[in-house]
Amino acid sequence: MKIIMLGAPGAGKGTQAKKIAEKYGIPHISTGDIFRANIKNGTELGKKAKTFMDQGLLVPDELTCDLVVDRIQQPDAARGYVLDGFPRTIPQAECLKDALDKLGSRIDYAIDVDVPDENIVNRMGGRRACLKCGATYHIVYAAPKQEGICDSCGEALVLRDDDKPETVQKRLNVYHEQTQPLIDYYNGQNVLRTVDGTQDLEDVFKQIVQILGE
């Protein structure tokens, strides 16, 4: 099963993608997590990506596409995967489609987690992230068992650099300009499914399971 998660920054793509990955036994591939891991490890890719990410801008397509096309051909992705945060532009979607065409494969579902902008700004200030394993928490809606510590790997949780209110607004603007057109793009390919992302995160997941099947 090959799935794309669509939705604004903070809509809950990462939260739901992790749950999908666990339930269906497929890898969760988040370009944001890959970039953050590279920043943490001080790689060249990380240095390049950071200048864009800190401003709330998209990392250029040429740094992103090859990375994902390579990742989806790894052995653990043979049975499928859930892509979170990619594609984010029409050229990225076209790049993915070309690669999948060559592999004789296609996307099964593009799930749009729909949340209005007003709800997003509230959520972001409370988010805490683990830069080691990519787990995401919220101080109210999805608190870790021990405050400030990742349940999965024990790493200290942080507020992401790009979760400051002014950067969140910038990311929302970038989303509406560059990423939202993908909703029509995948609708045109008959793979778009929309879920109401304003509900409790377990209820959002139930809607997704109804779409994907038990």
Q: Does the active-site annotation cover 171?
A: yes
Q: Which residues are bridge partners to 30 per DSSP?
A: 84
Q: Does the active-site annotation cover 40?
A: no
Which residue matches tokens 């989303």?
175
Which is catalytic among the residues 2, 88, 123, 128? 88
| Structure tokens belonging to residue 36 | 């953050």
The residues, any chain, with a CB within 8 Å of residue 49's CB and separated by 6 or more, are 35, 38, 39, 59, 63
d(CA 134, CA 14): 9
- Is residue 12 part of the contact set for Mg ion (CB under 5 A)? no
- Is residue 28 part of the contact set for ligand AP5 (CB under 6 A)? no
- Decide: 211 and 111 in contact? Cβ < 8 Å: yes
Size, binding site for ligand AP5 by CB under 6 A: 37
- Decide: 120 and 10 in contact? Cβ < 8 Å: yes
- Report the residue from 3, 4, 9, 150 that binds ligand AP5 according to the rule CB under 6 A: 9
- Is residue 14 part of the contact set for Mg ion (CB under 5 A)? yes
Q: Does the active-site annotation cover 127?
A: yes
Which residues within the stretch 37-76 sit at the binding site for ligand AP5 (CB under 6 A)? 52-53, 56-59, 64
Which is catalytic among the residues 71, 97, 160, 193? 160
The option from Mg ion, ligand AP5, none interacting with 171 (CB < 5 to 8 A, set by class) reads ligand AP5
SS3 content of the chain, % helix, strand, coil (to 5): 50, 15, 35
Q: Which residues are bridge partners to 89 per DSSP?
A: none
Which residue matches tokens 């870790």?
144
Which lies closer to ligand AP5 via its Cβ, residue 32 or residue 185?
Answer: 32
Which residue matches tokens 């994902």?
68
Q: Does the active-site annotation cover 88?
A: yes
Q: Does the active-site annotation cover 193?
A: no
- Is residue 81 part of the contact set for ligand AP5 (CB under 6 A)? no
Query: Could you give the residue numbers annotated as active site?
Result: 13, 88, 127, 160, 171
Query: Which positions touch Mg ion (CB under 5 A)?
Result: 14
